[in-house]
Amino acid sequence: MPFIQLIKANTRMEFIEMKRYLPNTLSMIGTIYIIFLGMLLGINIIGDPAQAEANIQHVIVNYIFWYLTLVTLTNIGFTITMEATRGTLEQLYMSPLGMWKILLSRLIGYIALHGVIVVGLLYLSMATANQWLYLKPDLTLTILLITLVGIVGVGFMIAGASVIFKQIQAFMQILQFILAALAFVPLSVAPFLILAPFVKGVDMIRHVMIQGYSWTDFTAMDYTALIVNSVVYLFIGIFFYLKCEKIAMSKGLLGNY
Amino acid sequence: MEEILIEVKGLKKGYKKRKTKEWVQAVDGVEFTVKRGEILGLLGPNGAGKTTTIKMICGLIVPDEGEVVINGITMQKNRLKGLEHISAVLEGNRNLYWRLTARENLEYFAGNRGKSRKEKMGEIEELLKEFKLKQKENELVSNLSRGMQQKLALAVALLADSDVILLDEPTLGLDIETGYEVRQLLKKISEAGKTIIISTHDMPVVQDLCERTVIINNGKVIADEKVEELMNLFETSAYVLTLGNELTEQQQKELDAKFPMNELLDGTKLTITLEQDNDIYDLMDLLKKENTIIEKIDRTTINFEEVFMNLIQEEKSHAIHSIN
């Protein structure tokens, strides 16, 4: 199947780039490990000992979500900027499979590799600190993946802006703070945030990891809200991206940087 | 009857300049056709509209008017389907990933067209050998010479198995030896039945490879002829006159006004291209007026570069005449 080959090729490409830029990859791994370890050990020391466990769970869940959301959101836009700088962007647009599929497969490869690294590091730091979180991988990963689908949609919106403007770094910096706010605010405090991307997902995972929720503790409404939110954002994102692509092609902006 | 593979119909594209907001008509009604298996040279001075035309053929730029039909598929209606029939080298060595090796680049771009590494393994091996890149297959592209990078970019385009290959300046920046090598490769590619459109400034490439050429100036097609016919056309109207004495200032002025495509070397060797056969009599009158002695008249042997320059200058002089 062509799309599977596309995913394979782009995952391999991401992996090769991680190897080629090894110092950068190692420093990223080191940083995440230290952050996890710091969270697991530090909050015990700083916070109220009675609530230490809940606090650790809360902060780590939020951090992982913030991190994965950030890399997912910025990856597609960053890929476009990077390819335009290299001069390979137009070459990618020559693929009969369509640029959005290339971007999606590049992102799938990127998330898969980063996901493995983050989860591995989380287990490693839990083993190092001898503190174990209620991870429930089946449920957590399912919710995380569905949530990421919606985030990919928002990523495509950013990519659409990148195709036209190319330089969107300033916006990305502001976006980091918006994302942090969304990841850290519980849905119970601001219920309207259910309409925002990924907030429902973070909230559900928080329930799993902090209150020990299982599959049956969530209502059908919870799952529906999660899936509908993600699917709607994905479709809007791709639609917006394709519109921007059309504008860029009409104005002859694809090759510009 | 030879099958027409590409139809470029009345393409128009304009831009507003970013700083001055001035409207520029980059491409103004360009149309031509390309037959299957043909090598077409797309020529024109800088800013003539060649690259914009090439990008409209690829579907990377949407025309304001007109359309491109490739193998019966209208690019403006079904771009992705059309792209199954085209591959391109648009920015030469910049089209490659410099942090990947030669082989990794080939594998990646094959994957980007939905092909598996396994499926393309044999073809990649063959291309690496044919393009003399086998020894450097595991070398990062950034460490390859410009010529090798250019050859690799060509190999990537070939790996797409498309009917049409579009090449924008394939020999730009190459030394004579590598330029020749790339030309030989292009010849081989064309012999394999691929349809090629080459946009270039490199006249030996056109003379050597292209059967037909479309010359664009100011966004318009000013010539669409077989290379051989263009050469014949200009060969028969170009003369070299060896004069016995130098021209007067007045004669020189009249000569420039009447025959803008002239060149005087050492004051006595006049190369001139005449627009019409009868112009030879006017030229004789002009020389006779000041008793200029004509020692010898020869037909020139012309190369394609001169043909191109004559066409562009002719176009300029027409533009000046129409303004006057």
Please give the C-alpha separations between residue B132 and each of A49, A207, B107, in angstroms, as whole numbers: 69, 61, 17
> Is A96 within 8 Å of B81 when comparing Cβ atoms?
yes
* Residue whose entry in the numeric block shows the structure tokens 């000992």: A49
Does B289 have pLDDT greater than 50? yes
Domains in chain A: boundaries: 2-250
CA distance B160 to B174: 24
Cα angle A225, A226, A230 (rounded to 5 degrees) comes to 110
Does A47 have pLDDT greater than 50? yes
The H or E element spanning position A147 is helix A137-165
Among all residues of chain B, which has the CA nearest to that of A249?
A: B61
> How does pLDDT run across A160-184, given as a tens digit for each residue?
988 888 777 777 778 777 877 777 7
- How many Cβ contacts (< 8 angstroms) between chains A and B? 100
Nearest to A91 among B62, B90, B98 (CB): B90
Confidence of residue B317 (pLDDT cuts 50, 70, 90): low
User: Cβ(B71)–Cβ(B81) under 8 Å?
Assistant: no
> How does pLDDT run across B32-69, given as a tens digit for each residue?
999 998 999 998 888 888 989 999 999 999 999 999 99
Mean pLDDT of chain A: 86
Give A2 to chain B, closest Cα distance, Å: 4
Nearest to B83 among A17, A87, A96 (CB): A96
Contacting residues of A for B94, CB less than 8 Å apart: 86-88
* Residue whose entry in the numeric block shows the structure tokens 């831009």: B15
Considering the segment(s) B1-85+162-218 as one domain, its CATH architecture is 3-Layer(aba) Sandwich (3.40)
| C-beta neighbour count of B303 within 10 angstroms | 14
B300-322 mean pLDDT: 66
pLDDT at residue A106, rounded to an integer: 93
Query: Token pair of A156, please?
Result: 């495509």
CA distance A11 to A26: 19
Q: Own/partner pairs for A210-219, CB < 8 Å, 24+ apart?
A: A210/A54, A210/A57, A210/A58, A210/A61, A210/A134, A212/A134, A213/A139, A214/A136, A214/A139, A215/A139
Q: List residues in chain B touching A: CB distance below 8 A.
A: 13, 15, 52, 55, 58-62, 80-81, 83-84, 86-88, 90-91, 94-100, 104, 107-117
> Is A6 within 8 Å of B100 when comparing Cβ atoms?
no
Nearest to A5 among B86, B104, B114 (CB): B114
User: Cβ(A210)–Cβ(A54) under 8 Å?
Assistant: yes
> Is A12 within 8 Å of B111 when comparing Cβ atoms?
yes
Q: What is the DSSP letter of B2?
A: P
Bridge-based pairing of strands B269-273 and B262-265 is antiparallel
Contacting residues of A for B13, CB less than 8 Å apart: 252
pLDDT at residue B323, rounded to an integer: 47
Confidence of residue A46 (pLDDT cuts 50, 70, 90): low
Confidence of residue A230 (pLDDT cuts 50, 70, 90): very high
Domains in chain B: boundaries: 1-85+162-218, 92-160, 232-323
Higher per-residue confidence, B95 vs B10 = B10
Give A13 to chain B, closest Cα distance, Å: 7
pLDDT at residue A146, rounded to an integer: 93
Cα angle A210, A216, A222 (rounded to 5 degrees) comes to 75
Give B87 to chain A, closest Cα distance, Å: 7
Note the Cα A132 to chain centre separation in Å.
24
CATH tag, B232-323:
3.30.70.1560
